[in-house]
Amino acid sequence: MGRRGINRRQFIGKTAAGVFSAGLGIPLLKGNSFSQNAAEEIPTRTLGRTNLQIPILSFGVMNSDSPDLIRKAIDIGIKHLDTASAYLRGNSEMSIGKTLDEDKLRDKVYLATKMRFARDNDKNTFLESGPAREPLATKENFQKQLETSLQRLRTDHVDILYLHSCYSSEMVTYEPMMEALVNAKKEGKTRFIGTSTHSNEPEVIRATVDAGIYDVVLTAQSVTLDKKEDIKKAIAYAASKDIGVVAMKTHGGVRRNREADPGIDHKSAFKWVLSDENICTTIPGMTTFEQLDFNFNVVKNYALTASEEMAVRQASSIQNPLYCQNCRSCISSCPKGVEIPSLMRAYMYAEGYGNLLQAEMTAEVLPEEKGLKTCEECSTCSASCQYGIKIYERLQALFAQGLTRT
């Protein structure tokens, strides 16, 4: 495959500047809709057996390192901040920690973070030994990563600690990770534990419930997901067993994309997720005051109107969605068994969120034989997506953005 215009160093520089400058000096919106009583306007639900009372709008701080936005979110009544050790190479946790510490806001929020470890994609579980580009899934590495996260967050505990990005029941019940999570809870380094998933969600949600140690599950849910009804049933199962449910990827697709917008009405899509009372709260990623304003307005009155229900039905039937379903069925169509779903996620970060740093991190942790380097050396792409996603074009877009292993 022929490719790209900037080298790795230029790319990192460009990326870091792009992402981080997004958080500097963002002006307050003129005429935004936050009233003096904003904090009372967001409905609140209970997060399962944790009994935490959380407004239905929380803050996914994945792409933002803006102290002003975090402050404003807390000011208008958002009580739950969600991050991960891997987001923005630790800068998301650092930014949250600095803001909460300097403004003495730690006791005003529930903090959630996630620990991510190497996985064996052929066996659909974690990897405890052997070569890997992510920390091996051992109790020692778990402890190290948790200490690093707590230092960055400037706190002695988080409220929810997730096992990051599980896509099989084997990952959810992986003994060393379960033991590490339970220990972290016993030691008071987290109040509650859970799993997060954006692939094979119904299986992961059910396994999380049945494992018997978890308090919370964080799942993708969206009108554009083919399996949304199965996810909904699994969410209902979790709620019936008093496991708290948090939803992500709620807006039905990406906001910015070089591809044609297929006409997803983000307001209706978001309302559709909020209407499921088994979901306690949602964590849309926000990087601007406009997005905060938009989401705040939606959650104040989330009942779907007749025309919005129509928009939801339309979004549900969109062919060739921008959003990869993460079904993993394309892997068998690549002769090299490349980890295509992760590369499609990298594409979503790069093209949809404008977060090249996260895109690179997503691609670079893959073993070389499963990543972009292998695609780069491949003369013809035979991989195909059952939903019509143009895999080859998206790989080309990643190369054009400067992503590669070399």
Contacts of 282 (CB under 8 A, 6+ apart): 56, 57, 58, 246, 247, 248, 250, 270, 273, 274, 299
Cα 194–196–197 angle (5° rounding)? 145
* Window of 68-76, 230-238, 338-346, 362-370 that interacts with ligand SF4 by CB under 6 A: 338-346
* Nearest distance from C-beta of residue 189 to ligand SF4, angstroms: 34
User: In the set 115, 298, 312, 330, which binds ligand SF4 (CB under 6 A)?
Assistant: 330
**According to CB under 6 A, which one of 378, 396, 400, 405 is a site residue for ligand SF4?**
378
The helix or strand, by DSSP H or E, that contains position 216, with its residue range, turns out to be strand 216-220
State the DSSP code for 59: E
DSSP character at residue 34: -
Asked whether position 235 contacts ligand SF4 by CB under 6 A, the answer is no
- Residues touching ligand SF4: how many (CB under 6 A)? 25
Is 326 an interacting residue with respect to ligand SF4 (CB under 6 A)? yes
Q: Looking at residues 342 to 361 of the shown chain, list those that interact with ligand SF4 (rule: CB under 6 A).
A: 344
What is the C-alpha separation between 270 and 248, in angstroms, rounded?
10
Nearer to ligand SF4, 37 or 319 (CB): 319
The secondary structure of 356-384 as a DSSP string is HHHHHHHHHTS-GGGSHHHHHT-SS----
Among 77, 285, 341, 402, binds ligand SF4 (CB under 6 A): 341
Find the Cα–Cα–Cα–Cα dihedral 92, 406, 388, 287, rounded to 10°.
Answer: 20
Quick one: 321 or 402, whose CB is closer to ligand SF4? Answer: 321
Q: At what angle do helices 356-364 and 340-347 cross, to 10 degrees?
A: 170
Q: Is 168 a residue that touches ligand SF4 (CB under 6 A)?
A: no
Q: Of the candidates 283, 359, 385, 398, which one interacts with ligand SF4 according to CB under 6 A?
A: 385
Using the rule CB under 6 A, is 7 a contact of ligand SF4? Answer: no
Would you call 110 helix, strand, or coil by DSSP? strand
Give the nearer residue to ligand SF4 in terms of CB position, either 83 or 358. 358
* Lookup: tokens for 203: 């299986």
User: Smaller CB distance to ligand SF4: residue 120 or 376?
Assistant: 376
Q: Does 386 engage in binding with ligand SF4 (CB under 6 A)? A: yes
* Site membership for ligand SF4, residue 382 (CB under 6 A): yes
Q: Among 141, 68, 79, which Cα is nearest to 103's?
A: 68
Mark the segment that binds ligand SF4 (CB under 6 A) among 91-99, 162-170, 247-255, 385-393: 385-393
Binding-site ranges for ligand SF4 (CB under 6 A): 324-330, 334, 336, 338, 340-341, 344, 374-375, 378, 381-383, 385-387, 389, 391, 395
